[in-house]
Structure 1
Amino acid sequence: MAAAEHNLICYLCVDGAAAALDFYRRAFGATEDQRWTGEDGRIGHARMTVEGMPVYLADEHPEIGVRGPHSYGGTAVSLVLTVADADAAFDAAVAAGATVERPVADQPHGARTGWLRDPFGHRWGITSTTAEVSEEELRGRVGDSYTIS
């Protein structure tokens, strides 16, 4: 028996998976690896690669309880995408149709991070590491606003 592969793959559900695949290509440089389209035209499963990581995607299938963020009025999950240049990646996502929640800014933990919503309701943090920050330095930067353990 082969050794088990350990990973965690995001599986996104959207209303409009074909359009979402195009958006993720333009916004994040995703490559589409596989697409299963049903007789009704809905995508039952697609696999794409974003920054070297697999991401799965499907159209809504409410008849089996599969719905995207717009059907729920939002999402409780955020995705964080680490890239070499957060500013450039963030700008590309906005140009592709994402909505800015918080612009890219330097963070006390040594990263540049911004937050946006894609047109399908998913929330993304776009981040890049700018400096290694020790725990002591981080404690000094955040002061009493957080307890760090």
Structure 2
Amino acid sequence: MNNYKDQHTTLPYLMLENAIEFIEFAKIVFNAETKSLNIASDNRTVLSAEIKVGHSMLLLSEAADKYGKAVGNFFIYVGDADETFQRAIFHGSFVVTEVADMDYGRCGGIQDPFGNTWWLTSTT
């Protein structure tokens, strides 16, 4: 894992079931980039990973009995909330709230197939 101490004070750290599939989901839906990926000898279990979504880093690993599952809630700025919402639904997400005009932009909520909730927001 990289040292982000001088760049970020707080970093989300997710412990997910099917972490490798989450990484692929994040690439497809949010154009995430894999910055590091440490896989166990079974070629499936994510021991640790770092992905970049826009300007933000997410740290993650496979959920283990020792620590349990830890999912998150994210407010995320995207280029087009409606388009990202539809892409997320197509790739297995569930509707939390439909996209609607708010005083801060267009926003809608989805829960991804891994248990995370994303508040997709665009300002144009």
1:19 to 18, 21, 30: 21
Q: 1:23–1:97: 8 Å Cα contact kept in structure 2?
A: no
TM-score, L = length of structure 2: 0.85
- Higher Rg: 1
Does 2:34 align with 1:32? yes
Q: What is the CA–CA distance in structure 2 between the aligned matches of 1:112 and 1:7, rounded to whole Å?
A: 28
Q: What is the CA–CA distance in structure 1 between the aligned matches of 2:95 and 2:47, rounded to whole Å?
A: 29
Q: 1:15–1:68: 8 Å Cα contact kept in structure 2?
A: no
TM-score, L = length of structure 1: 0.72
Q: Percent identity?
A: 28
Aligned Cα root-mean-square deviation (Å): 1.8
Does 2:98 align with 1:103? yes
**1:48 Cα deviation after fit:** 0.8
**1:7 Cα deviation after fit:** 3.4
Unaligned stretches of 5+ residues in structure 2: none
Q: How many residues align structurally?
A: 119
Give the counterpart letter for 1:96 in structure 2. H
Aligned to 1:59: 62
SS at match of 1:66: coil
Aligned to 2:123: 129
Greater strand content: 2
Q: Which runs of 4+ in 1 moved over 3 A?
A: 3-7
